[in-house]
Amino acid sequence: MTASPTYARIWAVVAAIPRGRVATYGQVAALAGLPGRARQAGYALHALPNDADDVPWHRVINARGEVSPRAEPGWEGLQRAMLIAEGVDFDDRGRVDLGRYRWEPGTLHGSAKREAQRRR
DNA sequence: AAGTTGACTATTT
DNA sequence: AAAATAGCCAACT
């Protein structure tokens, strides 16, 4: 497949998002070594092949904590359903509490993990 | 090769 | 608080 190294980096970061957590496009881009290139993160996911099960694209949302609207309808509802299935809650306006579900990479280790788990 | 596009975001109505 | 505006930059045509 003809994937740019840029895409590969972004996909790698997305693949690292733990279950039940979400990340913003800007966050993914920054972690991929592309600060300020949030749009490219979204572009990379758009170009993502359908059989890429190892990339949890549904855990990437926009900075407002909402599922980004895309060209084809129906996907938004699906993404929301998938996140709910993982334990991510949405409020009445269909938004995720980023302060609670935002993924903090590399932070949880050993006993610190248990402490982070206590948030609620 | 130049112009358009977009699964974004911060700022301003 | 929600909607429109402006800035952004790589991929796509």
- What's the whole-number average pLDDT of chain A? 87
Could you please report the per-residue DSSP string of A31-74?
Answer: HTT-TT-HHHHHHHHHT--TT-TTS-GGGEE-TTSSPPP-SSTT
Angle at A14 between CA A10 and CA A48, to 5 degrees: 65
Of A5, A105, A13, nearest to A55 (Cα)? A13
Predicted local confidence at residue A86, as pLDDT: 96
Tens digits of residue pLDDT in A9-27: 999 999 999 999 999 999 9
Nucleotides in chain C near protein beta carbons (<7 Å)? 2, 7-12
DSSP state of A18: P
Strand B positions closer than 7 A to protein CB: 6-10
pLDDT in tens, A25-44: 999 999 999 999 999 999 99
- Å between CA of A112 and C1' of C5: 43
